[in-house]
Structure 1
Amino acid sequence: MRHPLRTPVLTGAALGLLGPVALAAPALAADADSADLYVLHGVPDTTVDVYVNGERTLDDFTPGTLTGPLDLPTGTYTVAITAADAADASAPVIGPVDLSLTAGNSYTAVAHLKEDGSPTATLFTNDISSTDAGQGRLTVRHTAAAPAVDILAGGSPVLEDVTNPNEGSLDLPAGTVSAAVALAGTTAPVIGPADVPVQDGTLTVVYAWGSASAGNLQLAVQNIGGLHSAPSGVDSGQAGLVADDATSTGGVAAGAAALVALAGVAALGLRRRTARVTAGR
């Protein structure tokens, strides 16, 4: 559901978007004078409050929660993330940071760990440009306290040295791809190999978050549909623990597959498509 704001500050209506594990909400494209913003909490073991322009707007925001879209007027928003139930935003654990939103764009703000384990926040721009008929778009974002990774196909790297907080993105024909991910310079998979469906006209964004050293790497999955025209919906948002065995839930398994699906391009003979690796902004 769309949540317009009457002022440049998130209102209490945003609180109704929160869910403990999954998000499923229809959405409209941002208006010509506004932008869509999603917020992901990717810092393990830390329930927080989120302040925007000095006002508490998300209360007891739990790790793994993905909320949005919020339809916000164009402008710059000062965001501070505090410990849960803080009296105000004077002692943030992250920030304050300024998020500049441009009209007609879609963004995801992620509270996460740097590679060294310290907390930070990154604003990503979601690529909602049109895809060709029969194709979907896959974006993988590295927001975990973990070293660089390689994306593998057939045991060989096809995308190398993806670091925090960078992303890889490409368009794929709708269908199922299979791949794996390994620490940079190695070929032993740390996730996968696994399969994932690529949906026609949908942007699938997968976030790796958590900490490799703490053994709590997790995933959040965000789907934005309507890429053949204007983005028309957020099909789902999921978060789950990366599991090493077959007992993981279906949602978690799908997320793990999405994280490594970039490598499926080579496996499907799509080497003509080039993966882009860019920094979040």
Structure 2
Amino acid sequence: MYSRTSAVALVSVGVCALALGGAASASAAADDEAMVSVFHAVPGLTVDVYANGDELLPDFKPGTLTEPQPLPAGSYDLKVFKAGADPKGEPAIQKTVEVPAGANATVVAHLSADGKPVLDAYVNDTSKVAAGKSRLTVRHVAAAPAVDVRAGGQPVFEGLENPKEDTADVAAGTVSADVVLAGTDDVAIGPADLDLREGTTNIVYAWGSADDKDLALKVQTLTGMNSSPSGVNAGLAQSGNDSDVWFAYSAGVGLLALAGALTARRVVARNRA
């Protein structure tokens, strides 16, 4: 029933490269764009996010996932501060991300398995899926031990550890999913109904803290993966048990503003050269 592939979150101490097979390098395609989303998955902490010294997402609230926005390909020094903190001070999280042209990626501020704030980036699979199929990806970004993810009571992904991900192409339709501690029937999250529409990539984030008992699911849905040309490139949906999380419109505006500013700076730099 399931055609499975495994992938590992792109993690490093100081540098996280978002790579796509066959994609041009950022230096060779600096004027091209990538589609980037940002997900705030650190509970209880509102933050300000900076990119290359510019404020990108002010007052960014936990549980908020921005829609994919175009950004110029290139290198981004991302810093996360507690909301209102001096951006010249020590950031709570910092990482440099290389964004190549053509990538569709999500940057996630979340907790490590032992509860420390970290920043990771994931490439979103936007390749085509077969007719009648939907792509389901699960990302473990919670302060919790390894988990199994079940659909209809049957394990689909087993032994998933923070910050890894796993992917399967499944039959389109609505499934009841839950998250249990690996190798047990102890439910940690859910159950929740997932609407897996044909030709979509559905990315489920398990986030929060097991110790604080605030584990939750967040769903990002990308459309346009139909085998026949149809649909639009990308969108966003929320899981049934996460309807109280509001979409930060100002975050999207901030991403667009940053994209314009960085593009203008590159044009000026080339003209001066």
TM-score greater than 0.5 by the shorter chain: yes
The structure-2 alpha-carbon separation of the partners of 1:132 and 1:119, relative to structure 1 and needing over 3 Å to count, comes to: same
**Aligned to 1:82, what secondary structure does the other structure show?**
strand
Letter aligned with residue 200 of structure 1: E
**Aligned to 2:66, what secondary structure does the other structure show?**
strand
**Aligned to 1:131, what secondary structure does the other structure show?**
coil
Residue 108 (structure 1) aligns with: 106
Residue 150 (structure 1) aligns with: 148
Aligned mates of 1:134, 1:152 — CA distance in 2:
21
Match of 1:162 among 160, 163, 187: 160
Query: How far apart are 1:56 and its partner, in Å?
Result: 1.3
Q: CA offsets per residue over residues 87-108 of structure 1, 9 Å max, x none?
A: 224310011x111111111000
Aligned mates of 1:86, 1:66 — CA distance in 2:
22
Residue 73 (structure 2) aligns with: 74
Residue 58 (structure 1) aligns with: 57
Aligned mates of 1:100, 1:231 — CA distance in 2:
29
Match of 1:208 among 206, 209, 228: 206
**Aligned to 1:238, what secondary structure does the other structure show?**
coil
Equivalent residues in 2 for 1:130-209 (5 A)? 130-152=128-150, 157-209=155-207
The structure-2 alpha-carbon separation of the partners of 1:168 and 1:128, relative to structure 1 and needing over 3 Å to count, comes to: same
Residue 88 (structure 1) aligns with: 87
Aligned mates of 1:79, 1:187 — CA distance in 2:
39
Query: How far apart are 1:195 and its partner, in Å?
Result: 3.6
**Aligned to 1:66, what secondary structure does the other structure show?**
coil
The count of residues paired between Structure 1 and Structure 2 equals 213
The structure-2 alpha-carbon separation of the partners of 1:49 and 1:227, relative to structure 1 and needing over 3 Å to count, comes to: same
Residue 23 (structure 1) aligns with: none
Q: CA offsets per residue over residues 130-162 of structure 1, 9 Å max, x none?
A: 111221111111100010002346766453210
Residue 34 (structure 1) aligns with: 33
Contact (CA 8 Å) 2:139, 2:163: kept in 1 or not? yes
1:236 aligns with 2:239: no
Gaps of 5+ in 1: 1-30, 240-249, 256-281
The structure-2 alpha-carbon separation of the partners of 1:139 and 1:163, relative to structure 1 and needing over 3 Å to count, comes to: same
For normalisation by structure 1, the TM-score amounts to 0.69
Letter aligned with residue 142 of structure 1: H
Aligned mates of 1:184, 1:173 — CA distance in 2:
24
**Aligned to 1:68, what secondary structure does the other structure show?**
coil
**Aligned to 1:227, what secondary structure does the other structure show?**
coil
CA RMSD for the aligned pairs?
A: 2.5
Contact (CA 8 Å) 2:224, 2:234: kept in 1 or not? no
**Aligned to 1:112, what secondary structure does the other structure show?**
strand
Contact (CA 8 Å) 1:81, 1:89: kept in 2 or not? no
Letter aligned with residue 252 of structure 1: D
Letter aligned with residue 134 of structure 1: G
For normalisation by structure 2, the TM-score amounts to 0.71
Residue 252 (structure 1) aligns with: 242
Letter aligned with residue 69 of structure 2: L
Stretch of structure 1 that moved more, 204-213 or 190-199: 190-199
1:121 aligns with 2:119: yes
The structure-2 alpha-carbon separation of the partners of 1:171 and 1:89, relative to structure 1 and needing over 3 Å to count, comes to: farther
Letter aligned with residue 102 of structure 1: P
Q: CA offsets per residue over residues 238-267 of structure 1, 9 Å max, x none?
A: 37xxxxxxxxxx4538x9xxxxxxxxxxxx
**Aligned to 2:90, what secondary structure does the other structure show?**
coil
Query: How far apart are 1:114 and its partner, in Å?
Result: 0.2
Match of 1:219 among 213, 217, 220: 217
**Aligned to 1:46, what secondary structure does the other structure show?**
coil
Gaps of 5+ in 2: 1-29, 246-273
Q: Percent identity over the alignment? A: 47
Aligned mates of 2:74, 2:84 — CA distance in 1:
27
Query: How far apart are 1:212 and its partner, in Å?
Result: 0.7
Aligned mates of 1:82, 1:150 — CA distance in 2:
33
**Aligned to 1:169, what secondary structure does the other structure show?**
strand
Letter aligned with residue 150 of structure 1: D
Stretch of structure 1 that moved more, 206-215 or 157-166: 157-166
